[in-house]
Amino acid sequence: MSFWILSTIMVAAGLLLLTPALLNRKTVKMDDDREQNITIARERIQELKAELEAGTLSEETYQQTLEELEKSLLIDVADVEVLSEKMSDKSSWKMLVAVAVIVPVLSFGMYDMLGSPQYLDVVGPGKHQETPPGLTTSRAGKLPSMEEMIAGLKKKTAEDPNNPDGWYLLGRLYAAKEQFPDSVKAYEKLVEVTDRLPTALVVLADSIAMTQGGSLSGRPLQLLTEALEKEPSNSTALWMAGQAAADKKQYIEAIDYWQRAALGLKEHKEMLGELNSMINEAVVLAKEAGMNVAEINLPEPPLVASIPIDIIVDPSLQDKIQENDVLFIFARAVSGPPMPLAAIKRQASGFPLTIVLNDSSLLRPDISLLDYNQLSITARISHSGQPAAQGGDLQSQTQLVSPTSNSKIILKIDKLLP
């Protein structure tokens, strides 16, 4: 399979996720583009490794595609600007749906395009196709539009109405366009052809809730209850069911659901942290309502690297920062390849500022900052907005840090590149 096809499908999947619809309509500018594109690329790398091991992809094509993915991520890594420190509970469970359901299926599904449903696990392995159906377009070399992909999927589901992938992807496309009544229709078919698989019930509940302004009452809750009867450990269903209980001020039930959800999220520090906050808030509300709250036990989150970085600019260079300049922070292995392990990009303003570097900024899925004894961290202000250093850019000295220390470092931008 050619690199063009691999890259095209990766980008197509990324395009589908540029307009996520959160249940909470408050704006939280966390640059979904960056998080979703990095997650999708990570999924792609895992798929490439599986194909390499299976012998369906050559070592040369694997290495070429891997390198291109790394470069594209480095170029496209998006701003890390947060206008709100916390998402609301509703947007949190919506984000869980996106992480647990949308990304794995779209990244694989848009590659195989209606092949085997790896995430839903309802059909055996399918065959890779040289030209994915539904992505064919008369505009040679160009990506299809959302409308073209929807049209292709509608045709495919008409030809093969028992293919769960087709209904799933069609539902996700409609959801990405916020056409929730249409996504509900697609998910109704998905539930039917999968014999009411728990994952299918969850995404249907999610989409119906979107047609109710984010409310999980009524049929969404009924679907979640059914999903949990079939799969009691489904973390997404537990999270959403907990939110439904909290909305009805049933705080004890909400706490119970969220504690059970946490058991399936032991490797997700951010989600565990959010759940902990939600549980603590529910405990306070429960006690205020006179409810008896049992002892709370949450799994310990895994050890992760978290390096706070203070970025300051030498006063003599302050007047050289332009309005559209971009700040890059790169982390590289002291003993390793020159390609950064992690990268952060944001607008070059608001100095001094503090940024936290952790595994969420990694460009590869198979590594952690903790895999390296020492990291070199550099900050650069780019006039061009590109990660490659150019004359006139402003740069800091490199600082060395152990990822296990979690110690704050200071990067002082005090050098004008010739």
Backbone angles phi, psi at 411, to 5 degrees: -110, 115
Q: How many CB atoms lie within 10 A of CB 145?
A: 12
Closest CA to 97 of 12, 20, 45, 149: 20
Helix segments in 212-328, DSSP class H:
219-230, 235-247, 251-263, 269-288
Taking a C-beta distance cutoff of 8 angstroms, is the pair 101, 91 a contact?
Answer: no
pLDDT-wise least confident of 43-52, 137-146, 245-254, 407-416: 137-146
Instruction: Please determine whether the domains at 3-214 and 306-416 fall in the same fold group of CATH.
Output: no
Region 169-179 average pLDDT: 89
When pLDDT is cut at 50, 70 and 90, the band that residue 367 belongs to is confident
For position 117, what pLDDT does the model report?
35
Q: Is the pLDDT of residue 227 over 80?
A: yes
pLDDT-wise least confident of 105-114, 303-312, 395-404: 105-114
For position 37, what pLDDT does the model report?
55
Q: How many CB atoms lie within 10 A of CB 87?
A: 18
Q: How many CB atoms lie within 10 A of CB 335?
A: 9
Region 72-97 average pLDDT: 45
Taking a C-beta distance cutoff of 8 angstroms, is the pair 213, 108 a contact?
Answer: no
pLDDT digits (tens, 9 = 90+) for 230-257: 999 999 999 999 999 999 999 999 999 9
- Rounded to the nearest integer, the mean pLDDT of the chain is 75
Chain centroid offset of residue 35 CA: 5
| Higher per-residue pLDDT: 249 or 265 | 249
| Higher per-residue pLDDT: 40 or 228 | 228
| Higher per-residue pLDDT: 193 or 275 | 193
For position 208, what pLDDT does the model report?
96
Q: Report the CATH superfamily, name and number, of domain 3-214.
A: Tetratricopeptide repeat domain (1.25.40.10)
When pLDDT is cut at 50, 70 and 90, the band that residue 113 belongs to is very low
When pLDDT is cut at 50, 70 and 90, the band that residue 141 belongs to is very low
For position 205, what pLDDT does the model report?
95
Q: Is the pLDDT of residue 19 over 80?
A: no
For position 79, what pLDDT does the model report?
37
Region 119-125 average pLDDT: 32
Task: Look up residue 49 and give its amino acid.
Answer: K
- Where does residue 134 fall: left (phi above 0), alpha (psi -120 to 50 degrees), or beta otherwise? left
Region 198-222 average pLDDT: 94
- Measured CA to CA, the distance from residue 149 to residue 151 in angstroms comes to 5
Task: Look up residue 366 and give its amino acid.
Answer: D
Q: Is the pLDDT of residue 269 over 50?
A: yes
Domain 306-416 coded CATH 3.20.20.150: no
- Measured CA to CA, the distance from residue 139 to residue 142 in angstroms comes to 6
- Measured CA to CA, the distance from residue 3 to residue 389 in angstroms comes to 27
Cβ-proximal residues to 155 (8 Å cutoff; 6+ apart), any chain: 134
Q: Is the pLDDT of residue 408 over 80?
A: yes
When pLDDT is cut at 50, 70 and 90, the band that residue 310 belongs to is very high
Q: Is the pLDDT of residue 108 over 50?
A: no
0.75 exceeded by the pTM? no
Instruction: Enumerate the domain spans of the chain.
Output: 3-214, 306-416
pLDDT-wise least confident of 67-81, 106-120, 228-242: 106-120
- Measured CA to CA, the distance from residue 302 to residue 77 in angstroms comes to 25
Q: Is the pLDDT of residue 124 over 50?
A: no
Residue pointed to by tokens 């984000």? 95
State both tokens at 278.
Answer: 């939600």
Cβ-proximal residues to 359 (8 Å cutoff; 6+ apart), any chain: 304, 305, 342, 368, 369
When pLDDT is cut at 50, 70 and 90, the band that residue 64 belongs to is low
pLDDT digits (tens, 9 = 90+) for 371-386: 899 999 999 999 998 8
| Class of residue 173 by CB neighbours under 10 A (exposed 0-12, middle 13-18, buried 19+) | buried
Residue pointed to by tokens 């119970």? 256
